[in-house]
Structures are given as structure tokens and as C-alpha cells.
Amino acid sequence: MATSEARIMSEFSNPNLDVLITADEIQQRIREIGAEIARDYAGQKPLMIGVLKGACTFLSDLIRAADIQLGIEFMAISSYGASMRTSGEVRILKDLDVAIEGRHILVVEDIVDTGLTLSYLLANLKSRGAASVKLAALLDKFERREKEVPIDYLGFQIPDKFVVGYGLDFAERYRNLPFIGVVKDPMAE
């Protein structure tokens, strides 16, 4: 085992992380949002679409906090290179397995940053004839917004910092943290 690995015995108490939102705070807020969703969608059998991979943690906790009949689906999308950033065009890597015409759709996303990805995705889903398309996002990095995206159910607004944990990664690491943290030194192991 490398010495750095030996020193950092626990990923969850990794000294290179500052805790921004605790696991308890996340779970408490999700209980509130879940109850709100259950009230708003009662009798509508919404289809909740999780955006892979980051939203998988939020989606799995959120559906257990929403005491109604619902369905889940997943999509995977990736932005094109830097030159395509401004257009907001994204590539669909994994599309839905079902038609959504007439369905009430709730997109579940980990974080809204520039808003480019979500504004493309929401427009794309609306064009498929959904009865309604709404958005639930755990985090809102509002200072970085380039395209307006209405967030119907929001966990937390956060400052303009690169965050990890609870599904969010830095080079595929830290998704399994039960809290949201900020990496102090991105170069450290």
C-alpha cells in the first residue's frame, strides 16, 4: 500500500476535504423535498429521470422520501468539447427506454452549474410531448449560471466552489461520500 493511502485511512474523514453540507443536513432536506413532491404529484404517477452518474445517490434517497406511485428512468449525457460549451449542445450517451408522451417528468440532477446541460436536456424532453417537465436539483451553483434554468425542487444553494461527494466526483473519486465536501488540494492524493 502506498504511504499516502496508509495515511488517509478513511475516505470519509479525508483531511483533504472540507465538509460543506453534512449527511444529516442532506437527509433532512430530502425528507422535506420528498414530502413536497408527494403532495404536488399525488395521483399523477410521475416518471423521475436521473442523470447519470452524479444524480444516482440523490435519486435513490429522494424516491424513498416521496410516498407516491412513481417510475424511474436514467439518462447519461456528456457535453461536447470546450468549443461546443457555449451552444450548450450535449450528446446523449444513454437515452430513455420508454416514450414519455403525456407523462409528468421530473428530472433529477446533482448540480446546476452553468445550466447549459440542463437547459438542453429539459428542452429535449419537452419536445417529446411530455405533459410536464420539472427539475429537482440537489445543488445550485447560482453564481456560475449562463443559461436560466428553473429549479422546481432545490436542495441547497452553494458558493462557486468545486464540490464532491453524495454522487459528485472529482476524476471519478469521492462519489461515495455521504456528505458534500470541497477538495482543499486537487493535486493531493
Which residues lie near Mg ion (CB under 5 A)? 54
Peptide bond preceding 94: is omega within 30 degrees of 0, i.e. cis?
Answer: no
**Among ligand IMP, Mg ion, none, partner that 113 touches (CB below 5 to 8 angstroms by kind):** ligand IMP
CA nearest to 135, candidates 163, 156, 115, 154: 154
Cα(137)–Cα(64) distance, integer angstroms: 16
User: Site for ligand IMP (CB under 6 A): which residue of 58, 113, 134, 165?
Assistant: 113
56 in Cβ contact with 50 (< 8 Å): yes
Rg (CA), the chain: 17
Nearest approach in angstroms of CB 39 to Mg ion is 27
Asked if 114 touches ligand IMP (CB under 6 A), the answer is yes
Q: Are strands 17-21 and 90-94 parallel, antiparallel or unpaired?
A: unpaired
Taking the least distance from each CB to ligand IMP, the nearer of 103 and 141 is 141
User: Site for ligand IMP (CB under 6 A): which residue of 59, 63, 107, 112?
Assistant: 112
Cα(124)–Cα(127) distance, integer angstroms: 5
Asked if 117 touches ligand IMP (CB under 6 A), the answer is yes
**Among ligand IMP, Mg ion, none, partner that 116 touches (CB below 5 to 8 angstroms by kind):** ligand IMP
Q: Which among 11-19, 37-45, 109-117, 121-129 is the span making contact with ligand IMP, rule CB under 6 A?
A: 109-117
Catalytic positions:
113
**Among ligand IMP, Mg ion, none, partner that 168 touches (CB below 5 to 8 angstroms by kind):** ligand IMP
Cα(84)–Cα(89) distance, integer angstroms: 7
